[in-house]
C-alpha cells in the first residue's frame, strides 16, 4: 500500500522533533503536526523560560554578596514587564529556530492538532493523511485537583505570563515544579508560602537532598507549611483566601495561587481508541484527583498497535526532556536507520533548579539499601563554599556518594549547592560507565573548587 508519509508525528515537542529530524535524515518522508508553538513544554513553558527566571532570581543575592568583596552596589529594582517580555521573545525565537530546523531536515510541518482515525490514518484541519508509521509525542499537561475554588489558581503554564509581580504567592505541590517556583518567586522579591500535605518535599529524591533543600528554602525566607492541604479557595477583595485542612492554622491570603500538584499525559481527544492503542491507568496521589492515563509502550516505544509508537511524557516513564529526545532518536534509529536499539532509562541524571540547587544520578540511599541490604557504604560531606566566606553567608553545599561495598561501584551521586547540575553532569558519565570509588579516589581534584570534594571524600 502507498502512504502519504513514511512517518507521521503528532506533537512537535522535544521527542517529536528529535524523532522526525532523525527519521528524515535516513530518507524517510516525514510530517509533524502541532497546534501550539513548535518546541513543546521545554521550550515554551518549561525548562527554558523557567531557567531564565532562575537566573533572574539569583541577582539580588549576588548584589548582596558583592559587598563582601568590596563592591558598592546601589539600589536595584526589577522591571517586571521588561523581564517577562524578554523571556517571551526568547521563547518565540527558539520556536522559530525549531521550525527552521524542520524545514532544513525536509520535515513537513502541519500547524494543527492531529487525531487518529485508524491505525494508518490521521486527521488534521479536516484533511486526512495516511502513514506507514505514526509516532505520538504530545507530552503532558498540568492538572488541577477537583477542589472548590481551585479555578482561581494558575498552573506552571500561566506563571510565565503574569502581568505583575505578585506581592504574595501561595504554592501547593512539593515536586520539582512547585519547589523551583517557590525559590524563583522568593528570589524575585515575592513573599512565598509553600503548602505541603506531607512532611518533606521532593518525594523520591535522596533524603539528604530533600532535607538540605527544605532547610535552604526556609533560611531564604520561604514560609513552609507541612502536613496539611488546601480544602477551599475564596476570592476576596484583598486576594485569594486559602482554607487549610488543619483547622489550627490560619487561612493563607495571597494575590496569586500556583497549583503545581502534578502533570498528566496529554492523551485526551487523540482518537487512540480508533486505532486500538492501549492505555495504562495510574491513580493520581492526592485528594481531588482522578486517574491518569498514559500510553502503554514496550522497550522500543511501540504501542499495542504495531505501527504506532509513543515517546516522552505521554508514556509517563521518565518525564524529562533529554529522555524524550533519547527515546525519539532511538525509535528513528531502530525503524529507519538500520540500528535497532533500546534507550536506557538507567542512571539518568536530573536536577532541581531550586535555591539551593540540587542534582542527582543513580540510586538514592533508600533504594540502594532496598536492593543491596547493608552491602553499601555512604560517603558524605557538607561545607561552606569559599565563595561565601567574604560574603559572610552561611550557605552550605552537600555531596554524597553511595557505594556498593562488595564491588566498590558507585551506585549513586547526589549534590545540593551552587552549580550542582553542572557538576553532576560530569559525575554522571563516570557513574554510567560503572566507575568505582577507587576510580574517584585516583582522580586528581581541581583546587580550589567545590567539585573536587567528589574525589576527596574518605
* Residues designated catalytic: 447
CA-to-CA distance for 411 and 408, rounded, in angstroms?
Answer: 9
- My answer on whether omega of the bond before 448 falls inside 30° of 0, hence cis, is yes
Going by C-alpha positions, the residue among 444, 391, 385, 437 that lies closest to residue 415 is: 385
5-41: b or e for each residue (b if 16 or more CB lie within 10 Å)?
Answer: bbbbbbbbbbbbbbbbbbbbeeebbbbbbbebbbbbb
Contact (CB, 8 A) for 56 and 63: no
Closest CA to 152 of 87, 230, 95: 230
- Give, to the nearest 10 degrees, the angle between helix 80-105 and helix 47-67: 140
Are residues 401 and 437 in contact, defined by beta-carbon separation less than 8 angstroms? yes
DSSP 50: H
- For residue 272, what are the CA distances in angstroms to 120, 298, 327? 12, 17, 20
Give the C-alpha separation, 206 to 414, whole Å.
8
Q: Are 452 and 446 in contact (CB under 8 A)?
A: yes
Residue written as grid cell 512547585: 178
- Measured in degrees and rounded to the nearest 5, phi and psi for residue 224 equal -115, 120
First and final CA of the chain: distance in angstroms? Answer: 65
DSSP secondary structure code for residue 382 in this structure = E
H or E segment at 103? helix 80-105
Task: Name the grid cell of 412.
Answer: 549513586
Say if CB 258 and CB 154 are below 8 A apart: yes
Per the DSSP assignment, residues forming a β-bridge with 10 are 33, 136
Question: Is the CA virtual torsion 153, 224, 261, 287 positive or negative?
Answer: negative
Could you give the CA distance from residue 37 to residue 226 in angstroms, rounded to a whole number?
37
Amino acid at each position: 500500500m502507498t502512504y502519504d508519509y513514511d512517518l507521521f508525528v503528532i506533537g512537535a515537542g522535544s521527542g517529536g522533533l528529535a524523532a522526525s529530524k532523525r527519521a528524515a535524515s535516513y530518507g524517510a518522508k516525514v510530517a509533524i503536526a502541532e497546534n501550539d508553538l513548535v518546541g513543546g513544554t521545554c521550550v515554551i513553558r518549561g525548562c527554558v523560560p523557567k531557567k531564565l527566571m532562575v537566573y533572574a532570581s539569583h541577582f539580588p543575592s549576588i548584589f548582596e554578596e558583592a559587598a563582601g568583596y568590596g563592591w558598592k552596589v546601589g539600589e536595584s529594582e526589577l522591571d517586571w514587564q521588561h523581564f517577562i517580555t524578554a523571556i517571551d521573545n526568547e521563547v518565540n525565537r527558539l520556536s522559530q529556530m525549531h521550525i527552521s530546523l524542520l524545514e532544513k531536515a525536509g520535515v513537513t510541518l502541519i500547524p494543527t492538532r492531529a487525531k487518529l482515525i485508524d491505525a494508518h490514518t490521521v486527521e488534521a484541519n479536516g484533511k486526512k493523511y495516511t502513514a506507514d508509521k505514526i509516532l505520538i509525542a504530545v507530552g503532558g499537561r498540568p492538572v488541577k485537583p477537583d477542589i472548590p475554588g481551585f479555578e482561581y489558581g494558575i498552573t506552571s503554564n500561566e506563571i510565565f505570563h503574569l502581568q505583575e509581580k505578585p506581592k504574595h504567592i501561595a504554592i501547593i505541590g512539593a515536586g520539582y515544579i512547585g519547589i523551583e517556583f517557590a525559590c524563583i518567586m522568593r528570589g524575585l522579591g515575592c513573599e512565598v508560602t509553600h503548602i505541603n500535605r506531607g512532611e518533606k518535599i521532593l518525594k523520591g529524591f535522596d533524603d539528604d537532598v530533600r532535607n538540605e533543600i527544605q532547610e535552604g528554602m526556609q533560611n531564604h525566607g520561604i514560609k513552609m507549611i507541612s502536613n496539611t492541604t488546601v480544602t477551599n479557595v475564596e476570592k476576596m477583595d484583598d486576594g485569594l483566601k486559602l482554607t487549610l485542612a488543619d483547622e489550627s492554622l490560619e487561612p493563607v491570603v495571597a494575590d496569586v495561587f500556583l497549583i503545581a500538584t502534578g502533570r498528566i499525559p496529554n492523551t485526551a481527544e487523540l482518537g487512540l481508541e480508533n486505532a486500538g492503542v492501549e492505555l495504562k491507568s495510574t491513580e493520581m496521589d492526592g485528594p481531588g484527583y482522578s486517574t491518569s492515563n498514559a500510553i502503554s509502550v514496550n522497550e522500543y516505544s511501540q504501542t499495542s498497535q504495531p505501527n504506532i509508537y509513543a515517546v516522552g511524557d505521554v508514556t509517563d516513564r521518565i518525564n524529562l526532556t533529554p529522555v524524550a529526545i533519547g527515546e525519539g532518536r532511538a525509535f528513528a534509529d531502530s525503524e529507519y536507520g538500520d540500528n535497532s536499539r533500546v534507550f536506557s532509562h538507567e542512571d539518568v541524571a536530573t536536577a532541581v533548579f531550586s535555591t539551593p540547587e540540587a542534582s542527582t544520578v543513580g540510586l538514592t540511599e533508600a533504594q540502594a539499601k532496598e536492593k543491596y541490604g547493608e552491602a553499601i557504604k555512604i560517603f558524605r560531606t557538607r561545607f561552606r563554599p569559599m565563595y561565601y566566606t567574604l560574603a559572610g553567608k552561611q550557605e552550605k553545599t552537600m555531596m554524597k556518594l553511595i557505594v556498593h561495598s562488595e564491588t566498590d561501584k558507585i551506585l549513586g551521586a547526589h549534590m545540593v549547592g551552587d552549580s550542582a547540575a553542572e557538576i553532576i553532569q560530569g559525575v554522571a558519565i563516570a557513574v554510567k560507565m560503572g566507575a568505582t570509588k577507587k576510580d574517584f579516589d585516583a582522580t586528581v581534584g581541581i583546587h580550589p573548587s567545590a567539585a573536587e570534594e567528589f574525589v576527596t571524600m574518605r
